[in-house]
Structure 1
Amino acid sequence: MSQSVDSKKIIEFLELVGRLKHVKRTGWVICDIDECESIAGHMYRMGLMTFLLTEENNPTDLDRLKCLQIALIHDLAECIVGDLTPHCGVTPEEKHRRENEAMKKIAELTGIAGDRMYDLYQEYEKQSSPEAVFAKDLDRYDMILQAFEYEKRENKPRKLQEFFTATEGKFQHPFIQNLVKELYSQRDDFEKNRLLNGNA
């Protein structure tokens, strides 16, 4: 295959990825959140959270680079299929099928690099490594953190409780569990302060 063809495919790949900068996360759209985050914004903060792993809070010695890579590709298929949620009328099996086909197409555009991305995507979907499990924690934590940020922005405590309910008790890594505990505490304080100020 000539270099020019490779470059064309890479540009096609980058253009597909670029869509994620503009596609809003479906859960927030359904909840009527104005100016809600994009899929890329969600993956970006997940990626940054992998840098917070240290020798002190990473007792199982997770591979931080692998965690970062999984964070950056776990929703990559959504550049083709969109952000499918249980509210979209698509079964989990059909969602997985569509996303898997999309990841295969993406992998074909980028050769060996694509093979690596597809393998990491499969690892995440199957939760088959400690790094994939950690990335799932990051996915859930970023979601509830974002939900709390929207509640504060709109001054509506508990408005997005469904996202907290959906993730309750599912966090596995001690570092993330501590962050969840702190987030819950801040959320309780936010509600109490609003009540004290007579804004109930």
Structure 2
Amino acid sequence: MSIFFSLLLNALVVIAIIAQFFFMGILAVEAKSRTERYIRVLAYTSGILVVLGAKALGTSISTILVRALSNSRPITIGLLGVAIPAAAGAIMAWYFVRTMRTRGANIATRVLIFIGVLAVTQFADVYAAAVRTHGLRLDPALAPNIAFVVGMSIYVMLTWDPENPQEDGLKDAIRKLKGRRS
């Protein structure tokens, strides 16, 4: 049973990585003008290059994180492996949603693509380092990847309604609930 869950978890992480790269790619090529498309593709490639450039210079967050989680106590795994990545995912999702609402559509999309690809590339690097070090088995080294995806997903699910972008998602829902009770 453990092998099944391990394979399922790894498959879901890989699908999340591919889906995020694909979504960012769609955003990059779906521009109205050729110039805007080039700028968005530049943002996409720049996000990847930042992570790869840092890695080429010997700075790899993924290696440091996997090593720290390999021989850690539960509190360290909870903080470094779950709380911080989940918070990072939620903060990134908040920033994406906020930027899409407050800035011009093209600039917001460029920022979304750059930061999104940068984060997904780093996320993929952490996953690759965890698999390289621990294989495909369930291990605390996978916790940052799981927490990041869950944190980002929960925030987006609770706050963004593409059919009604004027609503503020979770804040409006809480405000409406409070209004009904009073």
The TM-score normalised by the length of structure 2 is 0.32
More helix by share: 2
